[in-house]
Amino acid sequence: MEKSIGEYVLQWLNNLGLEGDTSIYVKNAIMLVGLAILALIVNFIAKQIILTILHRIAKKTKSNWDDILFERKVFHKLSHLAPAIVLYALGPIVLDIYPVWALVLVQASKIYMIVIFVITLVAFFNALNVIYNQYEIAKNKPIKGFVQIANILIYFIGGILVISILLGQSPAYLLGGLGALTAVLLLVFKDTILGFVGSIQLSANDMLRPGDWVEIPQYGADGIVMEITLTVVKVQNWDKTISNVPTYSLITNAFKNWRGMEESGGRRIMRTIFLNVNSVKFCDEAMIEKFSKIALIRDYVLGKQKELYQLNEQDPADTSISANGRNQTNIGVFRKYIYNYLHENPLINKDMTFLVRLLESGATGVGIQVYVFSKIQAWVEYEEVQGDIFDHLLAIVPEFGLQIYQNPTGADFVKAIK
């Protein structure tokens, strides 16, 4: 029968003159120290040599997925298995005369290896998410929620295996016992389960993507989606605050996604100029002459005047009274001016809804509404385009004999008194 390592060491000590209990104690000490040194040597080889070689190879490759695995320390975490395998394989041999301690070492090695496997797999899936996010499809189909579910399952399975080792029971036995705790687990993981279902629906229906501008009134969120996780959607509001919205709430509650606007090629400008009704009038000859000098509406004014003159000739009446015949109005000419002014603006999208309309008059006067789309979508630049348009329109209103409507102020009352 072949001798064990311990017997060889003991024989060597006996040859040196050590016998009895002393030789046994020294043998055990040598074996333990040797095991520790061997574990340290294997750990050094795994981390300092093998990892270094793999890192250099990864840097030379054209793909970056291996670099990401190193950045996430997947291989570094995996290297911790090397000393654990040594302790698991050689521990019972070294502690052959101490079966209890040998069993403790083996079980501790198993638990340690399970923990290493768990953290390595979690790191791997997180790295996989980073790699996936570099592809174009990630903008439409993020997988972070699924990665989180996978990590939860890994932790759960790892926990079951560790508990089964500590209790000395089969994992199947523990899983069978969990059936009675199903209701409790559903209650504890309610948000996680709802978030998982919500993230699947958001992804399957393409309702939300990172980078979308959303408005969620129920949570006071109005800004850009930063991240979609298993339990929350992170929205950076325009004031730079962060709103964390439960993922499942986006399925049960209404929210507005501005992605359609961003993909359409335009951003809506809808604003109304309110005019004093008392300033609306028919155009006299002096006004027609003045308007015909404005380049943007010269052809319109002269063409419209010729058309109306011909219509009035067909049905002669006393044109000294404005109600007889047809005449141009200053508000109608102004409306046409706005239309032509916007049509000449290169920053306005003419392929989308283009409307300048007269609204119903009321307590705030009569309104002319501009309903067009800007080619510029970025917020700051869009506001600049909109501001330039209405700066001009508000300034040009008096040229048409019209007045902007506004509620009287203190200065107006002072003038009235004087």
Mean pLDDT in runs of 10 for the chain (418 residues)? Answer: 53 60 62 77 82 79 76 81 80 70 81 88 85 74 74 82 80 64 64 71 74 87 85 88 86 82 84 93 91 93 88 71 79 95 94 92 91 90 93 94 83 64
- Structure-block tokens of residue 147: 């990665």
Q: What's the pLDDT at 57?
A: 79
Is residue 248 exposed (0-12), middle (13-18) or buried (19+ Cβ within 10 Å)? buried
Q: Give the residue carrying structure tokens 């009038």.
A: 281
Residue 337 Cα to chain centre, angstroms: 43
Buried b (16+ CB within 10 A) or exposed e, 74-106: bbbbbbbbbbbebbbebbbebbeeeeeebeebb
Q: Which CATH architecture has domain 202-263?
A: Roll (2.30)
Distances (CA, A) of 46 to 39, 52, 82, 122, 129: 11, 9, 7, 20, 26
Buried b (16+ CB within 10 A) or exposed e, 192-224: bebbbebbeebbeeebbbbebbbebeebebbbe
Torsion of CA 176, 182, 184, 188, to 10 degrees: 110
- In one letter, which amino acid is 47? K
Q: Which CATH architecture has domain 267-417?
A: 2-Layer Sandwich (3.30)
* Residues forming CATH 3.30.70.100 domain(s) in the chain: 267-417
Question: Across the beta sheet with 232-237, what order do the strands follow?
Answer: 242-246, 232-237, 221-228, 213-216, 256-257
Q: What's the pLDDT at 394?
A: 94
User: Distance between CA 91 and CA 32 in Å, rounded?
Assistant: 9
Helix axes 330-343, 379-396, angle to 10 degrees: 150
Q: What's the pLDDT at 1?
A: 35
User: Distance between CA 192 and CA 231 in Å, rounded?
Assistant: 6
Question: Across the beta sheet with 355-358, what order do the strands follow?
Answer: 267-275, 366-374, 355-358
Q: Which residues contact 172 (CB under 8 A, 6 or more apart)?
A: none
User: Distance between CA 48 and CA 391 in Å, rounded?
Assistant: 69
Q: What's the pLDDT at 2?
A: 42
User: Distance between CA 388 and CA 138 in Å, rounded?
Assistant: 38
- pTM above the 0.85 mark? no
- Structure-block tokens of residue 198: 């919500």
* Residues forming CATH 2.30.30.60 domain(s) in the chain: 202-263
